[in-house]
Chain A
């Protein structure tokens, strides 16, 4: 093996190693995100389609402007989060 082919061989080995490491890291990240997506609440749940306000005074203002009653979902812990 000449010196030049030796360098080429080492370079090739390094490239293969770096590519494999990168691929493993990408796989880890993709798998992690997939698992998180599977656990997290879907964003298309029916209750999310309701145009909730989170500020009672903002709701009162809208109720005046639109001449509608206010529907208050009052919980221990925030109904949109917490649990």
Chain B
């Protein structure tokens, strides 16, 4: 998120990435584990950098050639530093004598294609108030951040929705994995037993509901009202618009520095049109266990 608003908002960096590099964005949680050609290639590159222990995170910005030689690595923020790194890499770049790698069989454990017939709904969360005055530019970015994730709705669930029925698995999936404060980093999701109330109904394509989520120790919670519309034809959803508005409190390991106490959080859901490259990204909560995401009662 910080990178999106700083490094990758820099005009010169955007120009260089477009004209002089092949930019690729990956979730290294998957790639460093993948036992396939893509995983091998990533480990070859990352293994030459400072984060070569693949049982831990290897996140950062890497510049490499097509033969897998690491040219530069950095995990700092700030456009000036990254721009200088890129300029140096371009100046010293000597194209290797390499050929395209053969893909082979993808590691099924870390392959997360969208289920057949499913639709993607973009989810965006925003904290609507409660922050103290930011102390610096970085904190300001966090405080104004809008998160992005994808919700998958399966083919069977779409048919039920269009029959004015809220599928239980979908309601739980939304509650557990998408009613989260992911505006400052990867959020903790909700355990099944942390769903205190899940009252979701549809009538004439209008969705309404009340959802109460809270940890056993009461340190994190979200009380939200749901309103939305859903429509479609021939069993396929063509419109899904929903808002979850409520009061959130608490934080997680990677979502530090929330507003003090309880604060307003809004999460918007909109059917994706497939025009955004991020529409193809698997839901964050599906990583490592797609079935657990699709069937959250398990």
CB < 8 Å: which of A33, A46, A60, A83 contacts B183? Answer: A83
**Number of residues from B at the complex interface, CB < 8 A:** 85
Given the interface pairs A69-B90, A69-B93, the reply to whether A36 lies near B269 with Cβ below 8 Å is yes
A83 to B141, CA, bound (A): 13
- Do B62 and A50 touch (CB < 8 A)? no
Given the interface pairs A57-B38, A81-B281, the reply to whether A70 lies near B57 with Cβ below 8 Å is no
- Do B57 and A36 touch (CB < 8 A)? no
Decide if B186 is an interface residue (CB 8 Å cutoff). yes
- Do B99 and A32 touch (CB < 8 A)? no
Stretch of B9-17, B131-139, B213-221, B289-297 on the interface side = B9-17
What is the 8 Å Cβ interface bit string for chain A, positions 71-83, against chain B (1 contact, 0 not)? 1111111111111
Decide if B153 is an interface residue (CB 8 Å cutoff). no
A37 / chain B contacts, CB cutoff of 8 Å: 270
What distance in Å separates the Cβ of A22 from its nearest Cβ neighbour in chain B? 11
What distance in Å separates the Cβ of B152 from its nearest Cβ neighbour in chain A? 12
Decide if A9 is an interface residue (CB 8 Å cutoff). no
- Nearest opposing residue in chain A for B183, CB measure: A83
> Which B66-115 residues have a C-beta within 8 angstroms of A?
66, 71, 86, 89-90, 93, 95, 98-101, 103
A45 / chain B contacts, CB cutoff of 8 Å: 4, 9
A residues touching B (Cβ–Cβ < 8 Å)?
A: 25, 28-29, 32-33, 35-37, 39-41, 43, 45-83
| Closest A-B pairs by Cβ, 9 of them | A47-B8, A59-B24, A81-B281, A63-B66, A39-B268, A74-B28, A61-B100, A67-B95, A72-B62
17 example contacts (A-B, Cβ-Cβ < 8 A) are as follows A29-B241, A35-B268, A36-B241, A39-B266, A47-B4, A51-B23, A57-B101, A60-B101, A64-B66, A67-B95, A74-B26, A74-B28, A78-B27, A78-B281, A81-B284, A82-B281, A83-B145
